[in-house]
A and B are shown apart, each in its own frame.
Chain A
Amino acid sequence: MFNRLLLAAMACLLFSTSALAEDLTGTLKKIKDTDTISLGHRESSVPFSYYNDKEQVIGYSQDLMMKVVAAVKKDLKMPHLKVTMTPVTSQNRIPLVQNGTVDIACGSATNNLERQKQVAFSDTIFVIGTRLLTKKGSGIKDFSDLAGKNVVTTAGTTSERLLRKLNEDKKMGMNIISAKDHSESFLTLETGRAVAFMMDDALLAGQRANAKHPKDWVIVGTPMSNEAYGCMMRKDDPQFKALVDKTFAKVMKSGEAAKIYKKWFMSAVPPKGMNLNFPMSDDMKAAFKNPNDQAFP
């Protein structure tokens, strides 16, 4: 794919710009024809994609998605390209990408094999481990300490699936509460309904940063799984995917992505000016070094 794009780029240099416009397919053609790119974002996925107090979308994934927009503007020679923003949820993002409402959605979506049947994923932009958030001094050190306890997780996440499977496989007798979203999960933990909250570690750090007393909460446990986040695009659209992957590979290798990481995970972020203090994991360093779109097993 990459080679083909290079060829196309060379052809474009040799001939005229209109030649490129004729060769466009899929999403890039749609963008050219409508003069608009439509982005899907999350509303409260701190610090990946969420609103600041001015109702602007900000976050780590959002910064990366804007790199894609810049690349599209440059490649299609459309400096005045219109950008529309559409909020998506974990339930509707796949249908909205498929039916063309959004062209690309960067948030906190795990790249997995079931989803690959419906949509294409970009190169991995983030790697998380699924761990536990618990109150300091609760005595919970790892998943094995959860037997017979109430544990909360967010509905529709891989954590929910893993937790239910663990409960059945090991007959742990946990009561699993599936809350609607991450903030409701945290509320369930905070009000003492559950002793631990299982979720992607980066999101747990985000919830902790928003807590009344962040120091009361600790992230514990060996990750039950590692997952790769990617941006979602329509399937079978090699031209657009190549452009997105090329853009990400460039920012990852140039060190720009590491700077964006630092901005969102190692320094104060809106809305409360809290620092997530979430250093980059080895898995992520590897993903930056060798950009790829493989789902984790």
Chain B
Amino acid sequence: MNYHWNWDIFLSETPSGSTTYLGWLLSGLEVTLAVSLSAWIIALIVGLFMGVFRTVPNRWLSGMAAVYVEVFRNTPLLVQLFIWYFVVPELVPVSIGDAYKSINPFLQQFLAAMFCLALFTGARVCEQVRSGINSLSVGQRYAGLALGFTLPQTYRYAILPMAIRIILPPLTSEFLNIFKNSAVASTIGLLELAAQGRQLVDYTAQAYESFIAVTVLFMVINVVVMVLMHRVEARARVPGHMGGG
């Protein structure tokens, strides 16, 4: 195949002259990290509460959490993103919609992508929290209650500390997924890593160098996340449980 390789392309200046093509990729990397990390924090909070609600003996709370999971887990991420970005601003009262649409477009795209990723991932975190809680023997709950803990206290001191340790490995893979899923935000124009890579192709026609660089950067993010999460798992391990000790 007669492809014209040119790895120096990353160091050449962009047409607007303010940075290099590598600078574009790095600014995309920043956006990817920012949107994924902020979405992950929200997803953890939402997922934790919803996961707990799914297991409490209250039909309203567990029903609400079940509906949330089914809605957000059973529709494609891309569709959810388009709904957040294009449809929701038209459904809310006109004054709110117009106010949202008049803020800086970058912020609009960022917020839409962040909430979309957060609620999508939150639904998956929720299911893991639920399965972590359900994997504990029911005796643990009774023991907490028998000691005089209220139900929230039982969750806080007896159930969740164990459940969260159990689900750390699957949570790690959700954490990895959120970075990869954040690439869908390029479809609404957010200039994250994948979008910058695509833009680099459009400007320079060097498709292979650009996509290889994007692939490597995503892998670097995920290797770092994996190493960090392994450390967290090692530190959180309770002697006598899950092979630790």
Give residues in A with beta carbon < 8 Å to B.
Answer: 90-92, 94-95, 98-100, 114-115, 117-118, 150, 155-157, 160-161, 164-165, 168-169, 175-180, 187, 191-194, 234-236
Contacts and interface: CB of A to CB of B under 8 A. Distances in A.
Interface of B: 1-4, 15-18, 86, 89-90, 98, 101, 104-106, 108-109, 186-189, 191, 195, 198-199, 201-205, 207-208
B205 A161 contact: no
B218 to A, nearest CB: 17
Contact of A177 (B2, B189, B203): B189
A177 B101 CA distance: 12
A114 B189 contact: no
B92 to A, nearest CB: 13
A95 B189 contact: no
Contacts of B201: 91, 156
B203 A114 contact: yes
A252 to B, nearest CB: 27
Contact of B188 (A95, A156, A180): A180
A156 B204 CA distance: 11
B189 A118 contact: no
Nearest to B203: A161
Given A91-B201, A94-B205, A180-B188, A150 B105 contact: yes
B16 A99 contact: no
A100 B3 CA distance: 12
A276 B195 CA distance: 32
B3 A192 contact: no
Contacts of B198: 91, 155-156
Contacts of A175: 104-106
A92 B211 CA distance: 12
Given A98-B2, A192-B98, 20 more contacts: A91-B202, A98-B1, A99-B1, A118-B4, A150-B105, A155-B189, A155-B199, A156-B202, A161-B15, A161-B203, A165-B16, A168-B16, A175-B104, A175-B105, A176-B105, A179-B189, A180-B189, A191-B86, A191-B89, A235-B2
Contact of B199 (A94, A156, A168): A156
A43 B108 CA distance: 29
Nearest to A150: B105
Contact of A98 (B3, B191, B203): B3
A244 B4 CA distance: 23
Nearest to A158: B202
A17 B215 CA distance: 50
Nearest to B87: A191
Contacts of B202: 90-91, 155-157, 160
B99 to A, nearest CB: 12
B101 A178 contact: no
A31 B34 CA distance: 50
20 contacts: A91-B198, A91-B207, A94-B205, A95-B208, A98-B3, A114-B203, A117-B4, A117-B205, A118-B3, A155-B189, A155-B198, A156-B201, A160-B202, A165-B15, A168-B18, A177-B109, A178-B199, A180-B186, A192-B101, A193-B105
B201 to A, nearest CB: 6
B139 to A, nearest CB: 53
Contacts of B106: 175
Q: Which of B16, B18, B98 has the most CB of A within 10 A?
A: B16
B105 A234 contact: no
Contacts of A118: 3-4, 205
Given A118-B205, A168-B16, A235-B2, A155 B195 contact: yes
A229 B202 CA distance: 15
A234 B195 CA distance: 27
Nearest to A90: B202
